[in-house]
Each structure stands twice: as structure tokens, then as C-alpha cells.
Amino acid sequence: MSTRRLLYLVTLSEEKHFGRAAEKCNVSQPTLSSSIRQFEEELGIQIVKRGHRFSGFTQEGMRVLDYAKRVLAEDEKLTEDINFMRAGLAGTLRIGVIPTALPIAALATSDFGRDHPGVSMEIVARDAHEILRELEDLSLDLGISYLDDTRSAKILELPLYTENLALLTPDPGPFSERNQLTWDDVSETPLVLETRDTQNRRVIDKAFESRGHEVSPQIESNSLFNLAAHVRAGAWSAIVPGECFAFCSTPPGTKLIQLSDPEVSHVIALQMADIPYPSVVTQNFFTSAEQLDIDSLFY
């Protein structure tokens, strides 16, 4: 079975467009389409749904696509292993990171990158569920996500640090003299919050509900930096992971205040698929992360 055909399928699933997939594979669109049709004839199944444009894979096609991803991942691992034997650690890592951990992830990737200049890293924002799914189908090599959201025997986890919710608020402002606040204190404060489809927002809503409050923020965003920009504008406060802004520094004219009663925290972990033969690069990154002490930077 030609690995080239498998690459066409995986690229098509990523680009969701025959022309872009062909361009990425450095072939013409007729060549890519013809190769996939020949593959379908050999297998005796329809892989791609037919239409004027790409509209997805059939049920059988999804099984073939899953197989293609695994074969290509194993092929990449073999190449990395051979390169490592010849010239040291080299290859590419695909790392999915939940948005609130993106700044802190640099503490892990920077150290590893300095130690292994032959390794390139692609860091992409994903939600917790996407990370689990893409680790299991090998679209990602590693994930940085909530430890308590995994619930999967197929995933190995290494705790990295604890994320604590805090109030990012204008300074000067109504809380300028405070170093600690309760959820009751901020329940009537004009807020900008993450959108309701994020894990962090669900945690925030649950914390307010535990104190008998229901908040309706005027502005919602799935970008922490957009929330911070609104806080800097002076009219709102935001509930954010304190470590994220402690590492990157709070915007001018704002301050972080610890939230308590209840204190809300989550452990953020490094994740990788529990498979028999992970790539040398993936395994080395996971092992080297055991030496990190990120929590000590904040507490």
C-alpha cells in the first residue's frame, strides 16, 4: 500500500479542499483525485463523499483515514529514530495546548528547544477534548491540558503546575486597596469573561453558582488577551488564570487579586498517547519535563 496515497488522504482531511491538498502535496489536483479513486477501487469501498466540492469522508473512509494517520505517524517515528542514531535528536513535535496555558507552555518548550536545536515544534491552541482526541488518533504528539479532564487509560500524564483563578482589575479601581477577594465581592462587578463553550468559563460559572450568584457579563471572548485589553480600558474586570498573567506580566494599569471562598484551582499536565513505541523526540520531551518545577516560579 502506497504511503503517498495515505498522505493524500491525511492532507485532504486537514485542508478540506482538493486543490489546497494537492498544492500542499506538490501534485496536481487531477493526480490527487485520481490516486484516491484508484485507492477506492482497490479497497472496494468509497472513501470520500462525492459532490461538487469536498464534503467529508464516508464511514468506511474514516476508518481508512485513521489507519493512514497511524501508518504515517509510525513512518515518521522510524525516520526520527534513524536520524537520532546518526546525528542526535531531530524531528518535529506537534503540541496542542489549552488557551489558558499557552504562555506557560513556553517554559517547557523553550528549555527543550535550547537543548535540542534539531527539533522543531508546532504549538497549536486546542480545547481539552480536542487534545485528547488528537492525541489518540496521533494528530498531536503531546498535549498540555487539564489533568482532571483526561479520564482516559490511553493517555499518560505528567503534572506541570497548578492554575489558580484570580481577578484582573483596573488599578486604580474599586479594588485597588485589596489583595484578596471573595466570589461574593466580585459578583456585582462589571465583568468580561471567556465564552461559555470554554472549560474555564464553566468552572467560573460553577464557582459563582456555589455562592448563589448568576453573572451575565456584557462582553465575552475566547481570547484571554482580548479580555485583558478590555480590563485595561478601565470599565471591566476579568476572572483569569493568575499564572498566565503573572508569567507574561499584567497589562499596564491593571492588577491581579487572588480569589477565595472558594479558591478555584486546577492541575495542568503534559499529556502523551500511551502507545508501545512513541517517537524518540516525543519520549525525550516527556522525560525531560519531569525535571521542570514551574510551580516554584509562582509560589
Spell out the domain ranges in the chain.
3-68, 70-161+267-297, 162-265
Residue 66 grid coordinates: 485513521
State how beta strands 237-241 and 191-194 pair. Answer: parallel
Instruction: Provide the pLDDT for residue 238.
Output: 94
Which H helix or E strand runs over 28?
A: none
> Can you point out the beta strands (E) in the chain?
91-97, 119-125, 142-146, 155-170, 180-182, 191-194, 219-221, 237-241, 254-260, 265-273
Instruction: Provide the pLDDT for residue 204.
Output: 92
Instruction: Provide the pLDDT for residue 90.
Output: 75
Tell me, yes or no, if the two domains 3-68 and 70-161+267-297 fold the same way.
no
Please report, as a single letter, which amino acid is at residue 82.
I
- Whether the pLDDT of residue 4 is over 90: the answer is no
- Name the CATH architecture for the domain at 3-68: Orthogonal Bundle (1.10)
Mean pLDDT on 239-251? 85
Cis peptide before 241, with omega less than 30 degrees from 0?
no
Kindly compute the dihedral angle of the four CA atoms of residues 136, 155, 283, 83, in this order, to the nearest 10 degrees.
-10
Model confidence, pTM: 0.68
70-161+267-297: CATH superfamily: Periplasmic binding protein-like II (3.40.190.10)
CATH number of 162-265: 3.40.190.290
Higher-confidence residue of 264 and 183: namely 183
- How far lies 236's CA from each of 99, 107, 117, 172, 188, in Å? 21, 30, 43, 12, 11
Q: What is the pLDDT of residues 167-176, one digit of tens each?
A: 999 988 889 8
Q: What is the pLDDT of residues 81-102, one digit of tens each?
A: 666 655 567 788 999 999 889 8
What does the mean pLDDT of the chain come to? 87
